[in-house]
Each structure stands twice: as C-alpha cells, then as structure tokens.
Amino acid sequence: MASHRLVATQFIPRPLDEVFAFFSKPDNLARITPPSMRFEFVTSDRRMRKGLEIDYRLRPILGIPVTWRTRIDTYHPPTGFSDTQLRGPYRRWNHRHDFQAVGGGTVMTDTIEYALPFGIVGDAIHRILVRAELARIFRHRRLIVETALAGPVAEATGRTVAVAGGTGFVGSAIAAELHRRGDRVVVLSRSGEAARGPLPDSIEIRRADVTDPASLAPALDGAGVLAIALAFPNSPMEQPNRGLTFEAVDAAGTEHLVAAACRAGVGRVVYVSGAGAAPDAKRHWYRAKWRAEQAVRGSGLGWTIIRPTWIFGPRDVSLNRFLGFARRMPFVPLTNRGRQQLAPVFVDDVARLVADAIVEHGAVGETFEVGGPETLTMREIVARALRVAGIRRPILPGPTPLLKLAAWPLQFLSTPPLTPAAVDFVNQPATVDIGPLLERLPRDLTPLDEGLRTYLGPTSGKGSEITIDGLPA
C-alpha cells in the first residue's frame, strides 16, 4: 500500500479573514465540489469547531454513492485547520488547510496525505483513475474560488440585471461578467440559494421557476434588464415526466419570463438562443428555441437575441463529458465517427457578448450568431482537449445507430447519462457566419486551445499549482 501526497496552492486576491471564512464554512463544501459528484450533507450540525464530525454523501464514479465522515482535528482561525477521514473510500486521508496573508491577497495551501485500500490493486487504481480525479477536483475548486471570491472591478453602474438561469453553466458566466462590470445582479433559480455554486455572495439569488408563471414577476422586481440563459437539469437529456423538456423550459419558460418582464417594468431583454433555431427545423430543440425567440421579438421590449454554437468551458456538460470518459475508460467513444463540424465558442466570450449587448444601442433589435474563430471536427476538438489536459487515450469513433442502441435503456434511469435523442443532439453540426457580429460589435474571439488552457492546463491559474507525489497534476 503506497502513501501519496497532494499539495495544492492558490493565490486569492482577497483578505486573509475573508478567504479563511469562506473555506472554514462547511456549507461551502457543496459549492466547491464538482456538480457531477452530487454532494449532499447527511448531518445537520455544521458549526465549525475542533472535534466537529461531518457526514456527507458523494457519487464520484458512475453515480455510485459513497458516504464520508470527516472530523475537524485542529481549528486555528484565520491561519488554518485540519481534518481526517473517519469513514470513507480511502484507507487514510489527512487534510491540512493553511492560509497566509501576502501582498495583494492570500495564499492558500492544501496538503493531503492519503492512501488507498486493497494493496497493489489500490495502487493500480490510483495510477489509472484516482490521481487524475483528484487533480480534476482541485482544478474545479480553483475555478469556483476565483469566481466566488471575486469582487467588481468597475464602479457601480446603478443598473440592476436579472439573469434567468444564472446558476447554470452559461448563465453563471453571464452573471459573473455583469458583476465584474459593476452591475447589481439578481439571479433567478428554481433551486434558490442551494444552487449558488461559483456565484459571489454579493449576487442576490431569488427562487423562481420558469414553469410556474406566478413565481416570476416578484422575482423580477426592481430589474431594468433581463438576460435569459435557460437550461434544464441534465440537459440535453429530457425527462418529460418531470417537465424537463426543451418545450417546457426553453420555449414556454421564456414565454412566461417575457410576460412577467413586461408586467414588472423591465425595459430590455437579451436572450441566449442557439445556432440553428428555426420554425421548420428538423430537431424539436431548434423549434423550441425559435418559439422562445418569437416571444422575445414580440415582447415590445428592447431586445437582442444571441445564437451561440457549441459552447465550451470549465462547467460545460459536452466536452467535459468526453474528458470524463477519458479519465474513467481506456478509450474515448465518439458517435457519428466524430465527423460533425463545429465552431466551438468559449463561454467567457458569450458572457462578454451578452454584457456588451445590454449597453450597446446598436444591438437592439438584432439577432447575432456567434461561434469561435476555428471550425473543427468533433474528433479534432476532443483530441485537442485531451492534449491540453495531459490525458493519453485513444479516440474510438463509432456508428450512430450503435450508440443510440446502447443509450436506449439508459433513458429510463432517474437521471439518464445518455438518451437516443441526446445522441442526435451531440451529432448536430454547429457553424455560423460571425461576420455580421464582428461588423456591428467588433471583438476578439478565443481560439479553442487558449480557452482550454485556462481550466485544463497544469499551470492554469495565476499563482496556482497542483502536485501529486511531487509531480505536476
């Protein structure tokens, strides 16, 4: 049984007391854990102190639940604390959290001494799976912290912007960008505070469900602008029995939001649609987006519609799904033989475009298509992501009918990882003409590799480093 040592350092440009308060609050464990692990507390006592024992449940691999009990062994505000796993998947896990005030902020250092059970089998599992998974978890945490502890970089604008879907992948990036620009941001979320994730505490979250029209007008109180970036949980895997479909959320949900915005006195709306939206589109998700666009155009408000292609970023559920395959399987499966053409657009570029559209008069009444500066096949995109992430796995393209057959029984699970319709969703090409956008709202768009390096590269993040057993992770 080999012992291992993980050391993660991160510079955070915030005062020591603020950083320590964030990390010493047990409730924030859920915020900094990857959503795919479905973190949930089992215990209710979470008042931080020496001797506190916390029980929680995770699903780190294949959705299999693992119960973890940790004990706080030392607690020395504001310079550090330590915890030990009492029950969980590791044979040994000792975690020390150290905080040091430095010029311009705080350096946080995590030192974990750990070992797996099962002797040489556990050592093999560490090499194949656990090492990469721990590195992924700490990279995710770094990105969450960078956003959650970020403050505005501009003076207050006096503008209040509501972001519907603002706890999702795209919506949270929009909310963070508007917050940085000095807007007062109000996020609408069906899960309320529990979905805060990377959003700074200074962003207000109001509980609102787009499938419940009565909840929307009060949630929009005081907002002058509405940005809409809806996505139902586990999208694009629809679950009709739970009302989680493109028609119910994207189409009807947007209609409800627009009607509520008119009643609430909102003057401006920006809607994030999708490339390919059309009334006669072959796929129903494109028709749902078109229906939503029509509600926005007919609202009588000042409107802008943005149609992005395939959006990638640290919290996306598309490219990161393939990286997840690479971390857990000996190969990366691709459908449609990986031939579909895509112009992947970085999520930060979409967020900046939404923020610009809110203030640019030339954007009113316009529909902008936006994609990245490169057109690539899906296979090329996945290969580049693997290279940036430092993962060596062969890519195994396969025929679409075979993958849809394999996905058929999965659609009956409570949270399906894949469905036949989702295979079609992944297979769709996504390329657009960005000329009109660049003519009206000139900007630089992020190349794929440059965007990937911000969250997948081993040295991504200023003043940040992760090593396992002395080697970069």
Residue 34 reports pLDDT greater than 70: yes
Task: Given CATH 3.40.50.720, say whether it is the number of domain 160-453.
Answer: yes
Interatomic CA distance for residues 446 and 444, integer angstroms: 7
pLDDT at 460: 52
Task: Please state, for a pLDDT cut of 90, what percent of the chain lies above it.
Answer: 73
pLDDT at 133: 87
* pLDDT confidence tier of residue 1, bands split at 50, 70 and 90: low
Please tell me the total number of residues recorded for the chain in this structure. Answer: 473
> Per-domain residue ranges for the chain?
3-149, 160-453
Residue 459 reports pLDDT greater than 70: no
375 or 135, which is more confident: 375
> 159: closest CA among 368, 400, 358?
358
Interatomic CA distance for residues 74 and 83, integer angstroms: 7
Residue 431 reports pLDDT greater than 70: yes
| Letter string b/e over residues 333-355, b meaning 16 or more CB atoms within 10 A of that residue's CB | bbbbebebebbbbbbbbbbbbbb
> 347: closest CA among 316, 303, 390, 369?
316
Interatomic CA distance for residues 223 and 266, integer angstroms: 6
Interatomic CA distance for residues 392 and 364, integer angstroms: 46
Instruction: Taking the CA atoms of 292, 293, 294 and 296 in sequence, report the sign of the dihedral they define.
Output: positive
Strands (E), 198-281: 204-207, 225-228, 268-272
161-214 confidence digits (pLDDT tens): 999 999 999 999 999 999 999 999 999 999 999 889 999 999 999 999 999 999
* CA dihedral of residues 331, 335, 339, 343 (deg, nearest 10): -90
Pairing of strands 395-397, 465-468: unpaired
Whether the CB-CB separation of 125 and 134 falls below 8 Å is answered with no
Angle at 273 between CA 271 and CA 277, to 5 degrees: 135
Mean pLDDT of the chain: 93
**Least confident among 47-61, 338-352, 386-400, 407-421:** 407-421
Interatomic CA distance for residues 469 and 473, integer angstroms: 9
Peptide bond into 236 cis (omega under 30): yes
What are the backbone angles phi and psi of residue 8, rounded to the nearest 5°? -125, 125
- Please state the rounded mean pLDDT for residues 126-152: 89
* pLDDT confidence tier of residue 20, bands split at 50, 70 and 90: very high
Residues 6+ apart with CB under 8 A from 44: none
pLDDT at 461: 53
Contacts 24+ apart (CB under 8 A), 203-207: 203/166, 203/175, 203/179, 205/166, 205/167
Just give the CATH number of 3-149.
3.30.530.20
The encoded tokens of residue 224 equal 């002058």
